[in-house]
């Protein structure tokens, strides 16, 4: 295959108030026609800046290419004018952005934005462009494409919007497609569909794909070659099988070991890379990874290693050859019968533990009884009755003291709404919620405030949940000010102790949120949540947006705090491998209904509901040699304002029958401590 994209010694700088900051240093890589290359690394490693430099989008962000070359099919992009680049963008190279809603103009229809690209590059009339847009949406798996062309971005779900962005990127048949974290914000079922779609379209159009991700499972599934970046430099390049088989750079090994998989020993401490990636203004001398590297020597501190050829790949480490054997197999180690093994295990390997004789289920700490939450949509002039969104519809479950209860399901299934109802941030339309035997419904504001000191929340977006104008001391100290009577000195001592308990420097109490990394901000959020020593914490997608290494650190911290403080968690997530690792029991929700509940190991070993089986099949494995056994779940989750009759999953279920379409299944026991709402459990 001929080389399509060739980057040599690319250096990129940004003009800031502090002067020029170097974001990329001597980055070199190449992509052949029809090849998929993955860029991996933590946030701040330079992946997105590399992709924007290829498209020359850094020109609009005070960025400049201060060195090196970028050639696309022999054309030097760094020397092109703005007009010449406009003729290439969309036609010869196109980009799928991480957040599709931000990439589409909300005031124009999907169709008008796709047509604009085709007409702009003079590839057809508006009528021809419309026909091509319809065909592209259909090819991208969007139902009723003619109707979708006339809709606005806000009218499409996240999965559909990402598909529409793929269709727009392919409108002019580009030779190079850059996909920047295209599935990070999506459910695993939609993620599996998008990845499969990219594979099919690549074969159809013979495109080269540069895929940016921090999910090593996606890299293993999609990549021909993988490029690992750290602090603006390439530290390793290898084929997918080489990289996962035997990493040669200590940073690569750290990333691979931090992955949570279905093989991970549940509730164990996860390996992680200690510390954080350095900021652009504080890059260390020598090897940039040396402050976090367990193998660093004086030479690493003083001299920056170039990319060296070692064992058929490249690694920027002075001791890559010597360390290769010590770093060993990149595959996660499986613990079986007290002995380690490096083979992947299957759900069949997991032993189902039956309760011992005389075992009794402890009384519920939180008791959720037939809870409903309906949001009225308003009366239509054509409708006789007011319609409503059934976000949570007749859900009952119990959470035991000291356990971690996991809650999974696609976006729109009602997980977060149920969690917010427990904290009384949302009032239930019907049913009852009891906390330590006391009903939370109907409490006065004063009584509710007293109860809430025992019920706290860790948010998905720590930055969005913090006042950017407040110092960390104010953020952590707010619950202390509301609920505790202490003077300034006592409060300061408590705040510094809380920072230390979550692994942060107590001296950072006077900094602002923007001065911290994503993982550090999540630690601040955890410190605020435990400030009043609560007994219950709701963690709503608390690690979903974090890099794999930071995710491992936060999971370890949460498990340590649970043991030390006796916390009870409701852990909401769409990453099933992570939820399995932290949870004692797991509930599965679909379209406002609880469809399955079981012990964590039992659920993954013997999933009874076909929806649960589809979710598990959608999990990407960090193993390039492993083929995805099933395609997961097809189609989109129906609208909660018009749920299907009978079983709500029947529109997407591979085992649907006439009974499923007509009769709604009840949650029934299928095995010991295992319930499922399915007429024909697997």
We report the CATH number of the domain holding residue 69 as 3.40.50.300
Q: Which of 212-216, 291-295, 325-329 has the lowest mean pLDDT?
A: 325-329
pLDDT higher than threshold 80 for residue 630? no
Question: In angstroms, rounded to a whole number, what is the distance separating the alpha carbons of residues 206 and 211?
Answer: 15
**Kind of pairing, strands 387-400 and 334-336?**
unpaired
- Taking CA atoms, 370 is separated from 82, 392, 404, 430, 540, in Å, by 61, 10, 21, 7, 22
How do residues 229-266 score in pLDDT, each as one tens digit?
A: 999 999 999 999 999 999 999 999 999 999 888 888 88
Give the CA distances from residue 210 to residues 71, 161, 182, in Å, rounded to whole numbers and listed in that order: 14, 20, 11
**Closest of 682, 681, 657 to residue 667, by C-alpha:** 681
| Farthest CA pair distance, the chain | 78
Q: Evaluate whether 155 touches 101 at the Cβ level (below 8 Å).
A: no
Same domain, 176 and 318: no
| For range 168-196, the mean pLDDT | 86
pLDDT of residue 382: 53
Task: Note whether 192 and 631 are within 8 A (CB).
Answer: yes
Taking each helix axis as running N to C, give the angle between helix 610-617 and helix 188-205, from 0 to 180 degrees, rounded to the nearest 10: 50
Q: Contact 399/365 with Cβ under 8 angstroms?
A: yes
Same domain for 19 and 126, yes or no, is yes
Q: pLDDT value at position 337?
A: 30
Q: Which of 345, 378, 397 is the last residue of a domain?
A: 345
Range of the domain at 314: 239-345
The H or E element that residue 75 is part of is strand 75-76
Is there a single domain that holds both residue 171 and residue 258? Answer: no
SS3 for 551? helix
Q: What is the pLDDT of residues 450-488, one digit of tens each?
A: 898 999 999 887 778 899 999 999 999 999 999 988 899
Count Cα neighbours of 533 within 13 Å in the Cβ-side half-sphere. Answer: 6
Residue 346 has pLDDT above 50, yes or no: no
Last residue of a domain, one of 293, 310, 345: 345
pLDDT, mean of residues 295-301: 95
Assess whether 52 and 181 both reside in one domain: yes
Answer yes or no: is 384 within a domain.
yes
Same domain, residue pair 23 and 150: yes
What is the model's pLDDT at position 356? 41
Q: Is residue 478 part of a domain?
A: no
> Are 148 and 257 in the same domain?
no
Q: What is the pLDDT of residue 329?
A: 52
Q: Are residues 20 and 144 in the same domain?
A: yes
- DSSP designation for 269: P
Domain boundary among 223, 248, 271: 223
For 299, the token pair is 């030479």
Considering the domain architecture, whether residues 160 and 216 belong to the same structural domain is answered as yes
- Going by C-alpha positions, the residue among 222, 159, 154 that lies closest to residue 190 is 159
How confident is the model over 266-289, as pLDDT tens digits?
889 999 898 888 888 889 999 999
Does residue 458 lie in a domain region?
A: no
Name the DSSP letter for residue 106: T
Query: Are both 215 and 244 inside the same structural domain?
Result: no
Of 55, 60, 63, the C-alpha closest to 91 is 55
pLDDT for the residue 335: 30
* Structural domains counted in the chain: 3
**Same domain as 255, residue 174:** no
Query: Residue 469: inside a domain, yes or no?
Result: no
Q: What is the mean pLDDT of residues 90-115?
A: 89
Distance between CA atoms of residues 601 and 54, nearest Å:
45
Contact 55, 210 (CB under 8 A): no
Q: In degrees, to the nearest 5, what angle opens at C-alpha 178 toward C-alphas 174 and 181?
A: 145
490 lies in a domain?
no
pLDDT score of 436 more than 50 = yes
Is residue 233 a part of any domain in this protein?
no
Residue 501 lies in a domain: no
Q: pLDDT per residue over 555-599, tens digit each?
A: 999 999 999 999 999 999 988 899 999 999 999 999 999 999 999
Same-domain check for residues 83 and 53: yes
**pLDDT tens for each residue of 355-391:** 344 434 556 899 999 999 998 876 555 555 567 889 9
Q: Are 219 and 244 found together in one domain?
A: no
Task: Output the pLDDT for position 323.
Answer: 83
Nearest alpha carbon to residue 605 among 375, 334, 347, 410:
347
Assigned domain for 93 exists = yes
For residue 339, the model assigns a pLDDT of: 32
């Amino acid at each position: 295959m001929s080389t399509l994209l060739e980057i040599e010694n690319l250096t990129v700088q940004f003009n800031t108030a502090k002067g020029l900051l170097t974001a990329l240093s001597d980055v070199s890589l190449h992509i052949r026609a029809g090849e998929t290359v993955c860029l991996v690394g933590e946030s701040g490693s330079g992946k997105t800046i590399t992709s924007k430099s290829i498209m020359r989008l850094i020109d609009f962000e005070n960025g400049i290419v201060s060195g090196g070359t970028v050639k696309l099919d022999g054309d030097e992009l760094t020397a092109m004018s703005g007009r010449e680049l406009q003729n290439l963008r969309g036609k010869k190279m196109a980009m799928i952005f991480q957040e599709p809603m931000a990439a589409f103009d909300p005031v124009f229809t999907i169709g008008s934005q796709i047509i604009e690209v085709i007409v702009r590059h003079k590839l057809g009339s508006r009528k021809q462009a419309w026909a091509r847009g319809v065909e592209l949406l259909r090819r991208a798996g969007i139902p009723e494409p003619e109707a979708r062309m006339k809709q606005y971005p806000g009218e499409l779900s996240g999965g559909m919007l990402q598909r529409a962005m793929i269709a727009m990127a392919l409108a002019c048949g580009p030779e190079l497609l850059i996909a920047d974290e295209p599935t990070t914000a999506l459910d695993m079922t939609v993620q599996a569909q998008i990845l499969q779609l990219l594979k099919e379209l690549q074969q159809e159009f013979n495109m080269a794909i540069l895929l940016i991700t921090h999910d090593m499972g996606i890299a293993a599934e999609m990549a021909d070659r993988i490029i690992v970046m750290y602090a603006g430099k390439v530290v390793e390049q290898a084929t997918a099988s080489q990289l996962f088989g035997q990493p040669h750079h200590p940073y690569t090994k750290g990333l691979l070991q931090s992955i949570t998989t279905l093989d991970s020993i549940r509730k164990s401490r996860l390996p992680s890379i200690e510390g954080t990636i350095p900021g652009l203004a504080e890059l260390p001398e020598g090897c940039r990874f040396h402050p976090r590297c367990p193998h660093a020597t004086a030479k690493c501190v003083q001299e920056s290693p170039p990319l060296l050829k070692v064992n058929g790949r490249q690694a920027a480490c002075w001791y890559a050859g010597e360390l290769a054997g010590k770093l060993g197999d990149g595959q996660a180690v499986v613990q079986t019968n007290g002995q380690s093994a490096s083979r992947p295990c299957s759900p069949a390997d997991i032993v189902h533990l039956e309760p011992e004789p005389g075992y009794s289920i402890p009384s519920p700490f939180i008791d959720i009884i037939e809870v409903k939450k309906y949001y009225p949509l308003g009366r239509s002039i054509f409708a006789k009755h007011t319609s409503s969104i059934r976000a949570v519809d007749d859900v009952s479950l119990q959470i035991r003291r000291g356990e971690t209860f996991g809650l999974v399901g696609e976006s729109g299934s009602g997980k977060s709404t149920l969690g917010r109802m427990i904290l009384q941030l949302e009032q239930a339309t019907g049913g009852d919620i009891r906390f330590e035997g006391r009903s939370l419904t109907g409490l006065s504001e004063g009584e509710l405030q007293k109860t809430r000191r025992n019920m706290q929340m860790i948010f998905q977006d720590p930055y969005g949940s913090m006042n950017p104008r407040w110092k960390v001391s104010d953020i952590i100290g707010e619950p202390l000010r509301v609920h505790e009577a202490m003077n300034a000195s006592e409060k300061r001592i408590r705040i510094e102790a809380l920072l230390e308990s979550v692994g942060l420097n107590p001296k950072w109490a006077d900094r602002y949120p923007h001065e911290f990394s994503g993982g550090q901000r999540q630690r601040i959020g955890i410190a605020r949540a435990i400030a009043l020593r609560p007994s219950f914490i709701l963690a709503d997608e608390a690690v979903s947006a974090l890099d794999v290494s930071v995710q491992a650190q936060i999971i370890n911290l949460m498990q340590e705090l649970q043991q030390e403080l006796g916390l009870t968690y409701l852990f909401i997530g769409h990453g099933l491998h992570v939820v399995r690792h932290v949870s004692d029991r797991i509930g599965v929700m679909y379209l406002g209904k609880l469809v399955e509940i079981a012990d964590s190991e039992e659920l993954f070993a013997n999933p009874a509901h076909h929806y649960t089986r589809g979710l598990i099949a959608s999990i990407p494995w960090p193993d390039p040699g492993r083929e995805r056994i099933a395609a997961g779940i097809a189609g989109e989750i129906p609208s909660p304002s018009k749920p299907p009759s009978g079983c709500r999953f029947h529109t997407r279920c591979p085992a649907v029958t006439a009974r499923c379409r007509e009769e709604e299944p009840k949650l029934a026991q299928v095995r010991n401590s295992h319930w499922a709402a399915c007429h024909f459990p697997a």
